[in-house]
Amino acid sequence: MKDYYYFLGIPHDASDEDIKKSYRKLSLKYHPDKNQDDDFFADRFKEIQEAYETLSDKGRRTTYDQNLESQQKSFRYTVPPSIKTFTANKIHAKKGEEIIISWQTQNADVVKVLPFGLEKAYGERIFKITEFKNGKFQLLLHATNSLLHKTVVQGITITEVFESDGEKFRDKAEELFRSQPKTATNPKGQPKIFRLILGLLILALALYFLISNYF
């Protein structure tokens, strides 16, 4: 059973106003029109809509809360969660290539597959990797027994492969010019090429002053 409170990032005793605020914020963030129709954002947007439609209706929310509580109580208190299987049809893939993952858990009432979100206790998902980070794409399966407050985690790492050395070189070159996430050391999110050039200039100036002082 899906945890709609998790989808909206709110506690189970959230007010109607809290539900509305969270929905508005998340629907803007994950709307497919703002994310180039990315499948990940489209799926999250559907989950957010589904959660809001249920929790914003008092009658449906009451029924949902009762069913959620009943499901949680059905799990055995003394048996910790476990992951029976978590597999991918390939662990080496090209960008845009289709990947199939499948999983099966036991004694878990909250199951998440990151980066996708909440899933059923067992299932299968088909997706395409649109971006690798440092040549890798990480998948994590979290299986939680909320009554025991215990979680087990298992991961799968898919490494990027290239059709040719030219393609690999082109990808590395594009990475140099791609805007980076904003951080404390890079507040403007400047591409790596600018920081590389700046570093070379600083090095050149340092060498110039060193040589000037020496002679």
Following DSSP, what letter does each residue of 99-168 receive, concatenated? Answer: EEEEEEEES-SEEEEETTEEE-SEEEEEEE----BTTEEEEEEEEEETTTTEEEEEEEEEEE--SSHHHH
CATH superfamily of 1-74: DnaJ domain (1.10.287.110)
pTM: 0.52
> Which CATH number among 2.40.50.140, 3.30.390.50, 2.60.40.10, 2.60.40.1120 corresponds to the domain 76-161?
2.60.40.10
Mean of the per-residue pLDDT values of the chain: 83
More confident residue, 3 or 187: 3
Determine the Cα–Cα distance for residues 131 and 129; give it in Å rounded to an integer.
Answer: 6
* Top-confidence residue, 175 or 199: 199
pLDDT over 70 (residue 214): no
pLDDT tens-place string over residues 88-121: 999 999 888 999 999 999 888 889 999 988 888 8
Q: Pick 42 or 113 by higher pLDDT.
A: 113
Q: Where are the domains of the chain?
A: 1-74, 76-161, 165-214
